[in-house]
Amino acid sequence: MIATEYIESRLTRAGLPTPRGDLSAAILASLRDRERPPPGPEAVVSAADPYGGDVQLALYVLYELHYQGFDGVDDDREWDPELLRLRGELERRYLDALRADAPGTVGAEAALAQILAEPADDGTGVSHYLQHDGRLEQLREYAALRSLYHLKEADPHAWVIPRLHGRAKAAMVAVEFDEFGAGRAEDIHARLFADLMDDLGLEHAYGRYVDESPDEALAPVTMMSLLGLHRALRGALVGHFAAVEVTSSPGSHRLAEAMRRAGAGPATQRFYDEHVEADAVHEQVVRHEIITPLLRDEPHLEPDVVFGIEATGLLEERLGTHLLREWRQGRSALRKPLRAGEDGTACEGATR
């Protein structure tokens, strides 16, 4: 791989994405032209499936106003009262669907035990498939759609820090310190993922692959923003964080092996190797230093912690089902193929 100067993935703002239905089209039109009022909350009633592309893109766009914003959209739209009112209605609909599908019938210890154990039908998940059968183009598709999450990896979780206290706060800061590179910009996990994308011949600009990503890839991203932005959902955000950290290490090991087998560059392997080691430690910290003291001090949050764990598993399973169905049928899992020129040429000697 030819060394090039790294350009920060968030140095420039992304353009607004392509709508996926009437609701997202109306929101995008209002963001392009502030003289056009956004749709009212009543527009959500006629919107389709809360997990579907129209609702999910609408939420994704509204949440991104709190992160980087968009090229051509004024910063003050972040706090536009009409957009916030609309977002609130979308959130209620999304939360209702998530709570119905992840009802949380067990306690926190049982929920954690369920995700700590690898399933009995081991070998059926996305990371297993990529480890043993995944082709380079499928690894590149996976990296492209996961960039919506990994290029902002630790940011939504940081919102919970001022909402915790004592031992739980200190432990959360310690884990986030690692996620943000332990003081070294080149080791920020979002930067490591940008390096991975470079090695795979992908563009690492923040939000670059929104239009290519399937609806199922938007939902895990919108959920962590939803949980992060609401103090009342701090327990659910901790549950989400626990689910990510507990399941990350074995999956990252398999993805590192997949990258080696495909002949991808060293940065692809480094990202996942780093998560094998770091998240094995983080899993212990999250369980014993964050969740245990949090529930000791605020036991009423236990149902929300369980909800965060189960809702994360639900959305990851939906995404995995989509990816495996398309890949096993020999189809791309993206809404549209990676554009011409993104052909993986940055991976020297890669086996296609």
The span from the CA of 39 to the CA of 86, in Å, is 7
Query: Vertex 270, ends 266 and 274: CA angle to 5°?
Result: 170
- Please name the residue ranges forming H helices in the chain: 22-32, 53-64, 81-101, 108-116, 126-132, 136-150, 155-158, 166-179, 189-199, 215-229, 234-262, 266-285, 292-297, 302-328
The span from the CA of 92 to the CA of 139, in Å, is 35
pLDDT recorded at residue 350: 33
The span from the CA of 223 to the CA of 218, in Å, is 9
DSSP 8-class letter at 202 = -
Cβ of 331: how many Cβ atoms within 10 Å?
Answer: 9
Question: Taking Cα atoms as reference points, which of 213, 231, 221 lies closest to residue 59?
Answer: 221
pLDDT recorded at residue 48: 72
Per the structure block, which two tokens stand in for 166? Answer: 């004592």
pLDDT recorded at residue 119: 55
Task: State the DSSP string of 92-113.
Answer: HHHHHHHHHH----S-HHHHHH
pLDDT recorded at residue 342: 55
Per residue of the chain (352 residues), give pLDDT as tens. Answer: 444 566 787 777 899 999 999 999 999 999 999 999 999 888 887 667 999 999 999 999 999 999 999 999 999 999 999 999 999 999 999 999 999 999 988 999 999 999 887 654 456 899 999 999 999 999 999 999 999 999 998 899 999 999 999 999 999 999 999 999 999 999 999 999 999 999 999 999 999 999 999 999 999 999 999 999 999 999 999 999 999 988 888 899 999 999 999 999 899 889 998 888 776 778 889 999 999 999 999 999 999 999 999 999 999 999 999 999 999 999 999 999 886 445 444 443 332 2
Per the structure block, which two tokens stand in for 294? Answer: 């949090």
pLDDT recorded at residue 269: 87
